[in-house]
Amino acid sequence: MTRTSGPLADPWNRPDDDIPFDLPAHTPRPGGIAARARAAAVPGPARSGAPYLDGLNPEQREAVEATEGPVLVLAGAGTGKTRVLTTRIAHILSLGLAWPSQILAVTFTNKAAREMKERIGAMVGEQVEGMPWLGTFHSIGVRMLRRHAELVGLKSGFTILDTDDQIRLLKQLLQAEQIDEKRWPARLLANTIDGWKNRGLTPDMVSAGEGAAFANGRGQKLYADYQARLKALNAVDFGDLLLEGIRLLRENPDVLAEYHKRFRYILVDEYQDTNVAQYLWLRLLAQGSKNVCCVGDDDQSIYGWRGAEVDNILRFETDFPGAKVVRLERNYRSTGHILGAAAHLIAHNEGRLGKTLFSEGESGEKVTVTGAWDSQEEARAIGEEIEALQHRGHSLAQMAILVRASFQMREFEDRFVTMGLNYRVIGGPRFYERAEIRDALAYLRVIASPADDLAFERIVNVPKRGLGDAALRQIHDHARAVGVPLVEAARQLVGSEELKPKVRLTLRDLVASFDRWREQMPNLPQSQLAEIVLDESGYTEMWQKDRSADAAGRLENLKELVRSMEPFENLVGFLEHISLVMDTEGSGAGEAVSIMTLHSAKGLEFDVVFLPGWEEGLFPHQRALDEQGRAGLEEERRLAYVGVTRARRLAKVFFASNRRIHGSWQSSVPSRFLDELPEAHVEVTESRGGHGWGGATSAGRYGYGPSRFDEAQTFGSTYSTPGWQRAQSHAQTHAQAGGASRREGQFGGFSDGGSRYNAGRGGYSGGGRVIEGQLVASSTGGPSRFPIGTRVFHQKFGYGEVVAAEGNKLTVQFDKAGEKRVLDTYVEGV
DNA sequence: GTTAGTCATGTTTTT
DNA sequence: CATGACTAAC
């Protein structure tokens, strides 16, 4: 895995950077002061000689030039939102209105921060390096907290727990409280607490009713206990980065005043994604200069489940009196048909500020809707379209498949591997979340901060060294009795007679090893230290001995981890970096189709976008509907809108009539969103091979007229015949009796009369109709790199032996995964 | 304490 | 179906 941006280039990686608080970090540009005076006097249109302003449309320019006072930029999809943000910063800098270090620019994701930095750099050059306050809410939160840690009861070297640590900690608390973990899972508690934190609630602020929601009224106490434990561990979780930041600013007026003085301009990207805590934090800071500019699109708010409040953006004008609102509605990305389809779709939402996107480009091709018999056929159809487009000269890199849920990805991966189509999964399992990486990091954490109990616990017995529950409990008890961290407790126990001889010996070795590694820390580059640690601890060996299919991949990941440590100044710096930047920009190498979730596609664009899985229950997702009701539906619709608007030239929607969920086949109904696409911009096409969608909907689907997707002739399939439909209604009664429950009237009150979706729900679930994928790979000729009998390794399937080769396509008998056909570029010889 | 079974269980999105 | 949690035997 290659990282796209060298961490060295990123000032965020310097945990102890000490940019003077009161002085600009660099010398002023000549003319800066004069420009400043001029700007103060003449706030009107910028003078010529500002090349970065050229090419902005009037609205964009207005947003850029309205530097003073609160500004809300409502930027529809593809209207140049990022451009406005970055140009605005360049503008402020170029007028000398502020030093780079006086601008606070917050984004939501690391990727967005990186991108913004790059683009600003392209405009203003190295001045961007003087912008330490450009980053995500979280990274900026850490930066502030590190400075003033003691004011909120932390020590500056506090550790940041990720979800995994968080849950393990909560598990301990639940056990201590003797709460049944089956009934009240730690995960649920973690979510609950996160929810509170997202809303800016400290334990004492949680209302009695809400606090009672978990474990018969013990939620609030658990939350308080949890916070106490965090403090004791000198640790914070993600939510605390903001919550403690708010507390810091509220309780320390002098600190707040300092930041007010510092931040002359505040810019916020993706404002629609902010939660209450972020809003409060922002508002505190913005009270100083009042020059706050928020950019967002209420139609692209898709993180409500994570606490984002669309209300923040809807309420902006009341929150920041005198705010100027600029609408960007001129779309530069998509064709007319795509835009028209998206606009009509999103118009079904009620709670929105309302924007009308328009473009001056050509109308292009209509959005297509294609039905497939099942998800495999859907994958095959998309694969074929991709190949066809490729032959017509489209680049794979300009195509993307955007799915609702990550389980959908597998079907495509399987299919593409068989086809020999290059693909890239974006945002899949995170590098730093893999067990082996977390284990390795735990070792390093213990070395860097011996008080990191969670890390210690994680690896005391990994690899297995005979220090099991019993031994750990002893260490725990001792630690609690004496009031020291686990490692220290272990050290003391080793000196005593309390442990069993065998245990004592092993533990002594372990403690000694940690001491030794810690001594080496200052003398060795951290990557070398990591290698030594992994080696001497037996961790590497553990995986080398492991014969399971993914062991080799894990070792490879460990190597990659060591490699990725190199650019950092020291171990602490590296650990700091990874606790926040948990993303891995995929290996950008090579032409490949991107596969990703709709969520991770936000902010991206592609020539061609495939949108599979538009079925009721999947998209809109049943859970969103069940748990959030209409708000959930609207968020799902926004997600659909985000999906469609990612496309520049072609948007292709798919749905399957049958999908495998939890291993068994279930029939599905086309998504209501399909009916919400306007006919004028949409073309219904037939899936190749004639296995059209089976018409699981039909009579009875009337809400505002028959569904367009009832038209038999568009599919020319036998499944629309009266006979089939009768069979359908039979099957349906069956399905409902069989417990395929879908609550009646759950959309009651929804103006579209969603109940019609219940009517046509087909119940056909015979598993026999699986259409097996035919292997129609076209050989590229030439002798294979891997003769028959060669042992090979494949990232996904593990080790295996080549049993047949045909051009670049191999048939491999994998040790674990069985026989698969793969492209030779996906395997390596061993 | 470890391991290899079985069993059940749960499945969205993620800074 | 796949992963994880728990149980029973080494």
How would you write A140-201 as a 3-class SS string? Answer: HHHHHHHHCHHHHCCCCCCEEECHHHHHHHHHHHHHHCCCCCCCCCHHHHHHHHHHHHHCCC
Judge contact between A723 and A655, C-beta under 8 A. no
Instruction: Provide residues 216-275 of A with CB closer than 7 Å to any strand B atom.
Output: 238
Whole-number distance in Å between A587 CA and B4 C1': 38
**Per the structure block, which two tokens stand in for A34?**
């004069």
Long-range pairs for A538-542 at CB < 8 Å and ≥24 separation? A538/A463, A538/A465, A539/A439, A539/A440, A539/A443, A539/A462, A539/A463, A541/A463, A542/A462, A542/A463, A542/A464
Judge contact between A310 and A318, C-beta under 8 A. no
User: Taking the model in full, what pTM does it have?
Assistant: 0.77
What pLDDT was estimated at residue A725?
A: 33
What pLDDT was estimated at residue A705?
A: 36
Higher pLDDT: A814 or A567? It is A567
Length of chain A: 830
Chain-centroid distance of CA A620 in Å reads 19
Whole-number distance in Å between A166 CA and B15 C1': 15
Whole-number distance in Å between A761 CA and B5 C1': 41
Nearest nucleotide over every DNA/RNA strand to the A303 CA, judged by C1': B13
Nearest nucleotide over every DNA/RNA strand to the A663 CA, judged by C1': C1
Higher pLDDT: A20 or A197? It is A197
What is the enclosing helix (H) or strand (E) of A256?
helix A253-262
> Cα(A366)–Cα(A644) distance, rounded to whole angstroms?
12
> Cα(A586)–Cα(A595) distance, rounded to whole angstroms?
11
State how far the alpha carbon of A749 is from the alpha carbons of A372, A626, A630, A703, A755, in Å: 32, 15, 9, 13, 10
A696 pLDDT band, cuts 50/70/90, is very low
Rg (CA), chain A: 29
> Cα(A121)–Cα(A608) distance, rounded to whole angstroms?
29
- Residues of A annotated catalytic, as ranges: 81-82, 269-270, 300, 646
Q: Which of A153-167, A673-687, A750-764 has the lowest mean pLDDT?
A: A750-764
Biggest alpha carbon distance in chain A?
Answer: 84
- A75 among annotated binding-site residues: yes
Nearest to A422 by CA among A589, A592, A587: A592
What pLDDT was estimated at residue A582?
A: 61
Whole-number distance in Å between A445 CA and C5 C1': 28
Instruction: Provide residues 155-194 of A with CB closer than 7 Å to any strand B atom.
Output: 163, 194
Sheet strands side by side (includes A292-296): A134-136, A103-107, A265-268, A292-296, A71-75, A324-328
Judge contact between A733 and A642, C-beta under 8 A. no
State how far the alpha carbon of A618 is from the alpha carbons of A368, A633, A641, A660, in Å: 19, 12, 16, 11
What pLDDT was estimated at residue A820?
A: 62
Judge contact between A694 and A717, C-beta under 8 A. yes
**Per the structure block, which two tokens stand in for A384?**
């074929």
Q: Is the pLDDT of residue A685 over 90?
A: no
- Closest residue to B10 (CA to C1') is A662
Judge contact between A506 and A467, C-beta under 8 A. yes
Chain-centroid distance of CA A253 in Å reads 35
State how far the alpha carbon of A16 is from the alpha carbons of A20, A23, A90, A144, in Å: 12, 17, 27, 12
Judge contact between A220 and A206, C-beta under 8 A. yes
Cβ-based burial of A440 (10 A; exposed 0-12, middle 13-18, buried ≥19):
buried
DSSP A778: P
Q: Which of A105-119, A337-351, A423-437 has the lowest mean pLDDT?
A: A423-437
Nearest nucleotide over every DNA/RNA strand to the A597 CA, judged by C1': B13
In the block, residue with structure tokens 């393990």? A168
What pLDDT was estimated at residue A722?
A: 31
What pLDDT was estimated at residue A809?
A: 58
- A82 among annotated binding-site residues: yes
> Cα(A710)–Cα(A708) distance, rounded to whole angstroms?
5
- Closest residue to C5 (CA to C1') is A182
Residue partners of A435: CB distance under 8 A and separation at least 6: A554
Residue partners of A107: CB distance under 8 A and separation at least 6: A113, A116, A134, A135, A136, A269, A270
A787 pLDDT band, cuts 50/70/90, is confident
Nearest to A691 by CA among A596, A594, A774: A774
Whole-number distance in Å between A412 CA and C6 C1': 35
Is the minimum distance from the CB of A467 to strand B below 7 Å? yes
Whole-number distance in Å between A301 CA and C2 C1': 32
The mean of the pLDDT values for chain A is: 78
Q: Which of A243-257, A471-485, A720-734 has the lowest mean pLDDT?
A: A720-734
Q: Is the pLDDT of residue A697 over 50?
A: no
Of A27-36, A382-391, A466-475, give the range with the top mean pLDDT.
A382-391
Instruction: Provide residues 393-412 of A with CB closer than 7 Å to any strand B atom.
Output: 404-407
Is the minimum distance from the CB of A787 to strand C below 7 Å? no
Q: Is the dihedral of CA A151, A157, A158, A161 positive or negative?
A: positive
Q: Which of A365-369, A721-725, A801-805 has the lowest mean pLDDT?
A: A721-725
- A502 among annotated binding-site residues: no
Nearest nucleotide over every DNA/RNA strand to the A623 CA, judged by C1': B12
Is the minimum distance from the CB of A320 to strand B below 7 Å? no
DSSP A567: T
Nearest nucleotide over every DNA/RNA strand to the A410 CA, judged by C1': C1
Q: Is the pLDDT of residue A698 over 60?
A: no
- What nucleotides of chain B have any atom within 7 angstroms of a protein Cβ? 1-3, 10-15
Whole-number distance in Å between A595 CA and B13 C1': 15
**Which string of DSSP letters, residue by residue, matches A480-523?**
HHHT--HHHHHHHHHHSS-S-HHHHHHHHHHHHHHHHHHHHGGG
- A81 among annotated binding-site residues: yes
**Per the structure block, which two tokens stand in for A440?**
């390795």
Nearest nucleotide over every DNA/RNA strand to the A582 CA, judged by C1': B15
> Cα(A219)–Cα(A497) distance, rounded to whole angstroms?
41
- pLDDT above 90: percentage of residues in chain A: 39
- pLDDT above 70: percentage of residues in chain A: 77
Whole-number distance in Å between A635 CA and C4 C1': 31
Judge contact between A265 and A103, C-beta under 8 A. yes
SS3 A403: strand
In terms of DSSP bridges, do strands A71-75 and A292-296 run parallel, antiparallel, or are they unpaired? parallel
- What nucleotides of chain C have any atom within 7 angstroms of a protein Cβ? 1, 6
> Cα(A147)–Cα(A156) distance, rounded to whole angstroms?
7
Judge contact between A667 and A626, C-beta under 8 A. no
- β-bridge mates for residue A608, sequence order: A399, A650
Q: Is the pLDDT of residue A760 over 70?
A: no
- Closest residue to B12 (CA to C1') is A405
- In tens, the pLDDT along A51-62 reads 888 889 999 999
> Cα(A320)–Cα(A313) distance, rounded to whole angstroms?
11
What pLDDT was estimated at residue A826?
A: 61
In the block, residue with structure tokens 């960007």? A328
> Cα(A328)–Cα(A81) distance, rounded to whole angstroms?
8
Q: Is the pLDDT of residue A512 over 90?
A: yes
A704 pLDDT band, cuts 50/70/90, is very low
**Which string of DSSP letters, residue by residue, matches A80-131?**
-HHHHHHHHHHHHHHTTSS-GGGEEEEESSHHHHHHHHHHHHHHHGGGGGG-
Instruction: Provide residues 631-690 of A with CB closer than 7 Å to any strand C atom.
Output: 662-663
Q: Is the pLDDT of residue A46 over 60?
A: no
What pLDDT was estimated at residue A827?
A: 66
Q: Is the pLDDT of residue A806 over 70?
A: no
Instruction: Provide residues 477-506 of A with CB closer than 7 Å to any strand B atom.
Output: 503
Whole-number distance in Å between A542 CA and C4 C1': 21
What pLDDT was estimated at residue A231?
A: 92
Instruction: Provide residues 100-119 of A with CB closer than 7 Å to any strand C atom.
Output: none
Judge contact between A654 and A342, C-beta under 8 A. no
- β-bridge mates for residue A327, sequence order: A74
Nearest to A146 by CA among A16, A53, A27, A259: A16
- β-bridge mates for residue A611, sequence order: A653
Judge contact between A106 and A140, C-beta under 8 A. yes
What pLDDT was estimated at residue A805?
A: 67
A428 pLDDT band, cuts 50/70/90, is low
For range A616-637, the mean pLDDT: 87
Supply the angle between the helices A622-645 and A336-346 in degrees, to the nearest 10.
Answer: 150
Instruction: Provide residues 169-188 of A with CB closer than 7 Å to any strand C atom.
Output: 181-182
Residue partners of A830: CB distance under 8 A and separation at least 6: A791, A792, A793, A799
Higher pLDDT: A284 or A759? It is A284
Whole-number distance in Å between A45 CA and B5 C1': 76
Q: Which of A55-64, A651-660, A808-817 has the lowest mean pLDDT?
A: A808-817
Judge contact between A233 and A451, C-beta under 8 A. yes
- A721 among annotated binding-site residues: no
Instruction: Provide residues 629-668 of A with CB closer than 7 Å to any strand B atom.
Output: 661-663
SS3 A475: helix
- In tens, the pLDDT along A381-404 reads 999 999 999 999 999 999 999 999
- In tens, the pLDDT along A136-171 reads 999 999 999 999 999 999 998 898 888 888 888 888
Judge contact between A506 and A521, C-beta under 8 A. no
Q: Is the pLDDT of residue A829 over 80?
A: no
For range A804-822, the mean pLDDT: 62
- A76 among annotated binding-site residues: yes
* HSE, side-chain direction, 13 A CA sphere, residue A639: 26
Whole-number distance in Å between A694 CA and C2 C1': 29
Nearest nucleotide over every DNA/RNA strand to the A110 CA, judged by C1': B15
Higher pLDDT: A521 or A218? It is A521
Whole-number distance in Å between A62 CA and B15 C1': 31
- A335 among annotated binding-site residues: no
- Using alpha carbons only, give the angle A102, A103, A104 rounded to the nearest 5 degrees: 120
What pLDDT was estimated at residue A429?
A: 66
